[in-house]
Structure 1
């Protein structure tokens, strides 16, 4: 008899879902993209720098930030061809938001 791994389901439990860790990875990937001098348009750099400062000042966590900025983050990652970032963002949307 073979065992099939059950897909995580946030509507049942968050056990086994590492939402906070995944969100922290996304924020690191954003910072990586912004650090690339030839690829990060000033508008993105300013926007995300301001937003990251705001969440720190308000005491919000990375998961809240990622959940509220999904579309902008996706656009940034797409512009940079950041496949790892897009994959983690998709996982967060599916499992955590």
Structure 2
């Protein structure tokens, strides 16, 4: 079977796509950025996500919904911090789950 045929396709089935786990991993990457020591001035995205992470925990909000609704802001945070793994994961979750 070719690699293209092996790729999961959310339009056919979500089977084999771990969207909730991917969303939890994105939140972990966000925490990596917000907790990282700053060499220069702190990003406004850092304080924004510090507040948002507290809010979603308090409200018991679904992580996948949060990631889907904040994808552009998350991308800005990861780009600001040079978090390549976070950007790759965000691209994957956006492609497979959103």
Gaps of 5+ in 2: none
User: Aligned residue for 1:4?
Assistant: 2
Q: Distance in 2 between matches of 1:81 and 1:47?
A: 17
User: Aligned residue for 1:69?
Assistant: 70
Alignment of 1:15-94 (within 5 A): 15-38=15-38, 41=42, 43-94=44-95
Deviation at 1:42, TM superposition (A): 5.0
Gaps of 5+ in 1: none
What TM-score do the two structures reach when normalised by structure 1? 0.88
Q: Distance in 2 between matches of 1:50 and 1:42?
A: 13
Distance 1:22 1:68, change over 3 A: same
1:23-78 superposed Cα distances (whole Å, 9 cap, x missing partner): 11110111011111215725223211111122122221211111111001101111
CA contact (8 A) 2:34 2:47 kept: no
Aligned pair count reads 95
User: SS of the counterpart of 2:7?
Assistant: coil
Which moved further from structure 2: 38-47 or 82-91?
38-47
What TM-score do the two structures reach when normalised by structure 2? 0.87
User: SS of the counterpart of 1:69?
Assistant: helix
Over the aligned positions, Cα root-mean-square deviation in angstroms equals 1.5
